[in-house]
Structure 1
Amino acid sequence: MDKNTQAINYMREHNFEEAARLFNEVIEEQPDEPLGYINFGNLLVQLNENDRAARFFEKAIELDAGAATAYYGLGNLFFEQSLFQKAQMNFQQAIELGLEESDVYFMLGLTLQNQEQFKFALPYLLRATEMNPFDDEILFQYGLSLAQSNILEDAENVFKRVLVMNQEHSDAHYNLGVLSLFNENVDEALSHFNDALRIQPEHVLAANGKKNVEQIINEN
């Protein structure tokens, strides 16, 4: 087992001190190879040392302008700081350089969502669902962007698929409640809001939705 692989295993075991020691050895032995810097950057992200992590990712890119995972790492750092335009640029660069993983498409979709570019987010979130079809959260975010793009029938179908995968997804229930209310099906809306609150009692939006539905029922 090479040192990079061994260090990654240490990271998974949360033995960060040993991981750092090995990654440091890798960099000392191969100072012109970007992989050691990328892995050390990923370790620093886990330790919340984001400024240092960024420097390691940037060093990897300096050594190899085609280091797609370094751009992905920078994208995640910018996303966590709500610097969405910078995050978008780095995720797009990672994809252009050939990083074909659901996570990068998902994160680019979320980045566009956070800039209220919902229709632009759709193809990236759809691609993420195609690459990772069993992740209910990726599927949910795709449904959310459909709803935010006013493609309501497709959004409803996606939220229902989320519930097939995970019956306890409170936000899927909430959004189906909103769509049911939009379709003037108050009984179905109330059922979904109740399910959302059963799963997540502090779900403020579902509580507000339930209150509005009950008011409609009482007025009728």
Structure 2
Amino acid sequence: MDKNQTGIEYMKEGNWEAAAKVFMEAIEENPDDTVAYINFGNVLTAVGETEKAMNFYDKAISLDSSAVSAYYSKGSLFYEMERFAEAKDMFEQAAKKGMESGDNYFMLGMCLVQLDQGRLAIPYLQRSTELLKTDAEAFFQYGLCLAKEQYIDEAIIQLEHSVSLDSSHADAFYNLGVAYGFKEEAAKALDMFNRALEIEPGHLLAGHGKKLIEESIG
């Protein structure tokens, strides 16, 4: 097992110190090993050393401008820092350089959502669901984005798929309740709000939605 793989195993165990040591050894043995720089950056990210992590991702990109994982890792770090425009640029670079990843499309879509560009986010979130066929969160965020852009029927399809993958997704049930309420299908809306509250009794929005529906039907 090479040092990068050994380090990744340490990361899976949460042994960041051992992982960092192995990745640094890999860099010392091969200063042009872009993977080791990216992996070391990921360790630094995990322990909150964000500025140092950026330096390692930048080093990997300087060695290989097509190191797509470095762009993705930088994008993820920018997203966590709520620097969404810079995150979007990184995920776009990763896609342009050939990263055909559901996670990358998902994050690119989420950046656009955060930048209030929901209509532009739709195709990326759609693509993420095509690649992440069992990811309830991907379908949820795609459905949520569709709903915000007033594509209510399409949103319901995606949110229904989300809860079929994860029957404990209270927010998906809540948003289904909102969507059915928008379509004036009170019985379905009430059912969805009740489902959300069964999962999460303290779900304030679902409780409020249920109260409004009950008042509307007398």
TM-score (ref. length: structure 2): 0.96
Task: Give the corresponding residue for 1:31.
Answer: 31
**Gapped regions of structure 1 (runs ≥ 5):** none
Distance 1:189 1:99 in 2: 39
How far does the alpha carbon of each residue in 1:100-131 deviate from its partner, in whole angstroms, 9 at most, with x for none?
11111110011111112111111111111111
Distance 1:179 1:154 in 2: 10
Secondary structure at the counterpart of residue 129 of structure 1: helix
Distance 1:37 1:27 in 2: 7
Task: Give the corresponding residue for 2:158.
Answer: 158
Point out the more displaced range, 162-171 or 49-58: 162-171
Distance 1:48 1:202 in 2: 32
Secondary structure at the counterpart of residue 32 of structure 1: coil
Task: Give the corresponding residue for 1:16.
Answer: 16
**Gapped regions of structure 2 (runs ≥ 5):** none
Distance 1:95 1:176 in 2: 32
2:39 counterpart letter in structure 1 = N
How far does the alpha carbon of each residue in 1:70-105 deviate from its partner, in whole angstroms, 9 at most, with x for none?
111110111011111000000000110111111111
Distance 1:110 1:154 in 2: 18
* 1:84-103 mapped onto 2 (5 Å cutoff): 84-103=84-103
Is 1:5 the equivalent of 2:5?
yes
In the TM superposition, what is the alpha-carbon distance from 1:217 to its structure 2 partner?
Answer: 2.7
Distance 1:176 1:100 in 2: 30
Task: Give the corresponding residue for 1:199.
Answer: 199
2:34 counterpart letter in structure 1 = P
1:5 counterpart letter in structure 2 = Q
TM-score (ref. length: structure 1): 0.95
How far does the alpha carbon of each residue in 1:50-86 deviate from its partner, in whole angstroms, 9 at most, with x for none?
1111111111112222211111111011101111100
How far does the alpha carbon of each residue in 1:174-205 deviate from its partner, in whole angstroms, 9 at most, with x for none?
11111111121222211111111111122222
* 1:56-135 mapped onto 2 (5 Å cutoff): 56-135=56-135
Distance 1:132 1:175 in 2: 21
Secondary structure at the counterpart of residue 100 of structure 1: coil
Distance 1:100 1:71 in 2: 13
2:141 counterpart letter in structure 1 = Q
Q: CA RMSD in A?
A: 1.2
Give the ranges of 4+ consecutive aligned residues of structure 1 lying more than 4 Å apart after TM superposition: none
Secondary structure at the counterpart of residue 134 of structure 1: coil
Distance 1:105 1:118 in 2: 14
Task: Give the corresponding residue for 2:180.
Answer: 180
Distance 1:136 1:142 in 2: 10
* Identity percentage of aligned residues: 46
Task: Give the corresponding residue for 1:137.
Answer: 137
Distance 2:46 2:96 in 1: 26
Secondary structure at the counterpart of residue 217 of structure 2: helix
Secondary structure at the counterpart of residue 21 of structure 1: helix
Alignment: residue pair count: 218
Distance 1:63 1:167 in 2: 45
